Amino acid sequence: MANELHLDILGTSFDIAVDEDEAYLQKILAQYRAAVENTKNISGITEPINIAILTGYLLCDEINRMKRQLEEESIEVNERTLNLITKLDQALGTYKNEQNL
């Protein structure tokens, strides 16, 4: 089920049709508007197209940093899990030896 979202930002207005619910669309739009305002504040850029391009670039940077962090955390979790499995295997082996199983 496609929903229409009316975008009116940086002096441009248009509608898009997407397969997401209205609340989600409004949340994403609010996040983008906040990102645009942040870009304006930190850059001093006033041209709408330049603001939009820089905002997109900054959002992509943020996404990639988050992906890298998740990958690093995933590697750490995997290493800890393998370490725990090794310790459990050793403990079970010791227990079996003590029980003469």
Q: Mean pLDDT throughout 55-79?
A: 96
**In this structure, are residues 87 and 93 in contact, taking their beta carbons and an 8 Å threshold?**
no
Report d(CA 16, CA 18) in Å as an integer: 6
* Residue 5: per-residue pLDDT: 85
CA dihedral 11→17→21→27, nearest 10 degrees, is: -20
Range of the domain at 36: 3-99
Asked if pLDDT for residue 39 goes beyond 90, the answer is yes
Q: pLDDT: is 47 or 6 the higher one? A: 47
Provide the domain count of the chain. Answer: 1
Report d(CA 6, CA 15) in Å as an integer: 4
Structure tokens at 59: 């959002």
Q: Mean pLDDT throughout 78-90?
A: 93
SS3 20: coil
